[in-house]
Amino acid sequence: MEAIKTIQDLIECYKKLPGIGFKTAERLAYATLHLTVEDRNRFILALTDANEKVQKCPKCGTFFDDQCPICSDLNRDHSVLLVVSDSKDILSIEKTNGYHGEYFSLKGTLSPLKNRTPEEIGIPQLKQRVEKEGIKEIILALPTDLEGETTAMYLANIYRDNPDVSITKLANGIPIGTDLEYLDNMTITSSLKGRVSLKKGN
Amino acid sequence: MEAIKTIQDLIECYKKLPGIGFKTAERLAYATLHLTVEDRNRFILALTDANEKVQKCPKCGTFFDDQCPICSDLNRDHSVLLVVSDSKDILSIEKTNGYHGEYFSLKGTLSPLKNRTPEEIGIPQLKQRVEKEGIKEIILALPTDLEGETTAMYLANIYRDNPDVSITKLANGIPIGTDLEYLDNMTITSSLKGRVSLKKGN
């Protein structure tokens, strides 16, 4: 027995989502047929809303349906700008409740090989915003791969001679609750390099 | 930052699917916003089809959008009926390509405690079909729990004095490729009870 067309279509849809392989997509497709009509209608409505109502904030790259929950928040610190390479990283930071500044989302990281130039990934817009809004600190939360590091260096270089703007990047090191034995050498080396003083000697 | 309404709606939808908890639903909801409008439209269309086109075969319980791929297949053996307690089990059997008879899907298994009577789960319809179609063998592929066993016994009892109908059930035993040390006692006991002769002695 071949799967019917609707099942095949649903499988194709679920397979587009990250981390969903064929087997899981198939399971989800059949489960979708087992939902009630109301639940499927709710699903259709949510997807329609995603198409029609949801926009990306032109300033920070966050998704919003009414107004950007970050840029419209007057209680935020407007002098700090956290830079990510993908707008979905904003959520991870927001969830910590530990950051109250603003965001800027680059379109990826610099990569000469993949033809991603500073203009391509939106560095001119970042510079413009830093200047216009009088940003005092740029926090880089970029990927820890070679391209992320290159982008960080590139940005640090731009503001090297500008005394008004400081640039920091998120600390690399041992994740909380992880045993050293499970960690890669790069992470351990980073954590050694970035070690923190607990008590100063002479 | 609170998640926007569309995201919350999508999370609720994904959470209805089996095996999807809050964390995964959240990940999938954001991934859905990152899909292209075309992909989301395809998703909406597949869900609409599921609502409007897909039906459950009144005879065997399989989902179909045009005609039941099993009941409309003339090459199948119409004298054998495999009974499942949930129509989604039909797919698992079909995938093996090792069964070419017909199916009947009960609505669950007998359970006096949960008020699931023979009438409730569709045993009268099963009996009717066996009689009308001249079924020669009923293969039970019911759950291996107490309620599944009870249902199997109940059905076996119905046809005890009927010489025209034989009733079998799927063999219990060691799954292929599994080590004995990882198996529960019940499975090992079943496999011992149902041991298969390789060579007959005196």
Q: Alpha-carbon dihedral of residues A146, A150, A153, A154, nearest 10 degrees?
A: -170
| A88-95 and B22-34 helices, crossing angle to 10° | 150
Would you place residue B173 in the very low, low, confident or very high pLDDT band (cuts 50, 70, 90)? confident
Question: Among B98, B122, B96, B126, which Cα is nearest to B109's?
Answer: B122
B59 pLDDT higher than 80: yes
Query: Which residues of chain A neighbour B48 with C-beta distances below 8 Å?
Result: 44
For A76-94, what is the mean pLDDT?
A: 88
| Per-residue pLDDT at B45 | 94
Secondary structure (3-state) at B188? helix
| Per-residue pLDDT at A139 | 93
Cβ-in-10-Å burial (0-12, 13-18, 19+) of B179 comes to exposed
Min Cα distance A31 → chain B (Å) is 6
Nearest CA in chain A to B89: A30
Quote the CA–CA distance of B175 and B163 in Å, as a whole number. 33
Q: ipTM for the complex?
A: 0.70
B97 pLDDT higher than 90: no
Nearest CA in chain A to B37: A51
Inter-CA distances, B78 with B71, B82, B97, B103, B141, Å = 9, 11, 16, 10, 17
| Per-residue pLDDT at B187 | 85
Q: What is the pLDDT of residues A22-44, one digit of tens each?
A: 999 999 998 999 899 999 999 99
Question: What residues contact residue A161 under an 8 Å CB cut-off, 6+ apart?
Answer: none
Judged by average pLDDT, the poorest of A45-54, B118-127, B179-188 is B179-188
Count of residues making up chain B:
202
Secondary structure (3-state) at A38? helix
B201 pLDDT higher than 80: no
For the ranges A179-193, B14-28, B59-73, the one whose mean pLDDT is highest? B14-28
Q: Do A50 and B10 touch (CB under 8 A)?
A: yes
Question: Could you write out the three-class secondary structure of A98-146?
Answer: CCCCEEEECCCCCECCCCECHHHHCHHHHHHHHHHCCCCEEEEECCCCH
| Per-residue pLDDT at A1 | 64
Q: What is the pLDDT of residues A39-72, one digit of tens each?
A: 999 999 999 999 999 988 888 888 888 888 888 8
Query: Which residues of chain B neighbour A64 with C-beta distances below 8 Å?
Result: 4
Strand ordering across the sheet containing A80-84: A102-105, A80-84, A137-141, A166-169
B175 pLDDT higher than 90: no
Secondary structure (3-state) at B36? coil
Min Cα distance B156 → chain A (Å) is 29
Inter-CA distances, B127 with B79, B83, B99, B102, Å = 14, 11, 21, 14
For A72-85, what is the mean pLDDT?
A: 90
Local structure of residue B195 (DSSP, 8 states):
-
Query: Which residues of chain B neighbour A62 with C-beta distances below 8 Å?
Result: 1
Which residue of B1, B8, B49 to mutate against A (max A Cβ within 10 Å)?
Answer: B1
For A98-118, what is the mean pLDDT?
A: 91
Min Cα distance A3 → chain B (Å) is 9
For B91-113, what is the mean pLDDT?
A: 89
Contacts across the A-B interface (CB distance below 8 Å)? 130
Average per-residue pLDDT in chain B?
89
